[in-house]
Amino acid sequence: MAIVSLKKLTKRYGNMEIVHAIDLDVADREFIALVGPSGCGKSTTLRMIAGLEDISGGTIEIGDRIVNDLPPRSRNISMVFQSYALYPHMTVRENLGFSLKIAGAPKEEMDRRVAEASAILGLDALLERRPSQLSGGQRQRVAMGRAIVRDPDVFLFDEPLSNLDAKLRTQMRTEIKKLHAKVKSTVIYVTHDQVEAMTLADRIVIMRDGNIEQVGTPDEVFQRPATRFVAGFIGSPPMNLQEAIVDGGKIVFSGGQSLPLPGRFKAKVNAGDKVVFGLRPDDLYPVGHGLHSGDAADVHEIELPVTVTEPLGNETLVFAEFDRRDWVSRMLNPRRLRAGDRVAMHFDLSQAHLFSAETGKSLRP
Amino acid sequence: MDANASARLKRRVGVAAHGIGLFLAMLLICLPGIWIVLSSLRPTVEILAKPPVWIPQQVSLDAYVAMFSGVGKGGIPVLDYFRNSLIISVTSTVIAIAIGMAGGYAFARYRFRGKSAMFLGLMLTRTVPGIALSLPLFFVYARLDIIDTHFGLILAYVALNVPFTIWLIDGFFRQVPKDLAEAAQIDGCTRWQAFWQVEFPLAGPGIASAGIFAFLTSWNEFALASQLTRSINSKTLPVGLLDYTAEFTIDWRGMCALAVVMIIPALLLTFIVQKHLVGGLTSGAVKG
């Protein structure tokens, strides 16, 4: 069990800087998810923590110990790879016990720890099989078992679920969460799937182009995105974002449509400021098919033409045209709508977001 | 006849034709070998007969007995040749495999300046026919005074085999996912241990095939060996075949018998190693 602390951690390949001096503190037993689009530096960061990648600058501390130049084996970590990386020439039992064998652990201890891990993950029936005889989900479990057996200070997961089909992914997600509750280690989990990050992590680190955009609990990053990028990245379907100009008490979109400027932003913007207006699909809904969460005075009604509907059973995503662009809205207790129907929509402006068009930073007071 | 019956008939005819085709191909491949074995057992008259005598009339092991008899009774120093062949082939194979493993691993895993040029250079050496090298090699060896030594031939064969073993082993290491060595390092291995515990066993079949190839090349090589050897100090079995040629005659039967003696160890080795050439060992390492 250990804290992990990154200070000004930098990675360069030649002249290309991939990770720009990031700082991050991970508390003991915390589950942290690094998320971001591909190429954002999250996997590189994880590999630097693991010691599989040299660092170009800064420090990495694991449990009060600077590990910058230690080889992976001396960092007391374990890692679950995207590809699982099971040793194909060994049985499941040998795979699980490999790290203990290398460490020269006595036979009894090896058997005991393999049995423990195997019991936690339900691998007992598979111990004598080879990886090629296992299904994707089973391989995934063996990979996790191999990580548990080491009893590491920190677990590192590198997109462990991305090779599984959708159903299995949901199932394994739950298993990882249960596992963390059982073994109570520090976990650093890399994923490009924001749903995985939201459901699993205590805190989420959103990365982009080698920088950290925001660190926060799932609620924080969802409710209070610090930047336009985070707003667009977290949440499914993504937040509606549209550039606009502040004009007195209104924000005017490029297409000429306008909405009233929510009161709490008045002190933060001036007339003529270029901004990006953001509204989650949950806060835009056909009248009578959603819940407004703030002051009723902030709910603004506009009639819009429907362009596409995507029924999901319990709800329907309605795409409606506003200011020459499709805005996605979430319709609860759905009724049938057809493309071309005109529907009265509620814009719940108490939940609206405003970002500076220049810096992308949130203008929330 | 309905469509099903005719389809079934077609399939059966296809299977039969396939079998016959395979049999003919195998016959074509095996015939020279069989002919050598037969020729080693029959008298010269029969070997040279026109039209050929397909089924041997008289079979005897005389050629083999003569081969192992002393000088003057038609014998040749076959045991010396065998020993030379074995020492030279095994040593050069072991060295070529060691260099091939190091080189192949480097090419498969590391990025370095001039990598592709170097790789191409290695491949280009394969385009030079061995026989073209024999004369320059002879002069160099004469100066170095290593003609008619084991060392000389081993050196030549290592040089001959290394490009190929590097190329072959590189391909096999490429098939071993990089993640495996990284996982092993996280599991507590040093870089060296990760190689021997994980990557080496998985590339094993490839290394074994490279080994067979290198061994057979050295074992069967004639052109260079005939230039660079002189006496029983270093003459190998293929060069020993020349002992059966005299100024005006060639003892075809004796030559064939020696050829059989040469083939047997190579055949045995191939059989033994073949068991370890289990393909697809890496399946199941990564992905679903």
Domains identified in chain A and CATH numbers? 4-229 (3.40.50.300), 240-356 (2.40.50.140)
How many CB atoms neighbour CB A170 within 10 A? 14
Q: Do A50 and B188 touch (CB under 8 A)?
A: no
Cis before A106 (ω within 30): no
Give every residue of chain B whose pLDDT is below 50, as ranges. Answer: 280-285, 287-288
Could you tell me the residue ranges of all domains in chain B? 3-60, 78-274
Give me the interface pTM, i.e. the ipTM. 0.85
What's the pLDDT tens digit per position in A108-154?
Answer: 999 999 999 998 888 899 999 999 899 888 998 999 999 999 889 99
Q: Do A85 and B177 touch (CB under 8 A)?
A: yes
| Chain B interface disruption, residue of A102, A113, A150, most B CBs within 10 A | A102
Note the pTM of the prediction, 2 decimals.
0.82
Q: Would you say A134 and A92 are in contact if contact means Cβ atoms under 8 Å apart? A: yes
Closest residue in chain B to residue A73, using alpha carbons only: B188
Cβ partners under 8 Å of residue A256, min gap 6: A323
DSSP state of A85: -
The per-residue pLDDT for B272 is 83
What's the pLDDT tens digit per position in A297-308?
Answer: 788 899 999 999
Q: Which fold has domain B78-274?
A: MetI-like fold (1.10.3720)
What residues of A are in contact with residue B172 (Cβ under 8 Å)?
none
DSSP secondary structure string for all residues of A251-279: EEETTS-EEEPPGGGTTT--TT-EEEEEE
What's the pLDDT tens digit per position in A237-257?
Answer: 999 999 999 988 899 998 888
Q: Would you say A201 and A33 are in contact if contact means Cβ atoms under 8 Å apart? A: yes
Out of A98, A133, A163, closest to residue B288 by CB = A163
Whether chain B has a CB inside 8 Å of the CB on A104: the answer is no
Tell me the two tokens of residue B100.
Answer: 């091939």
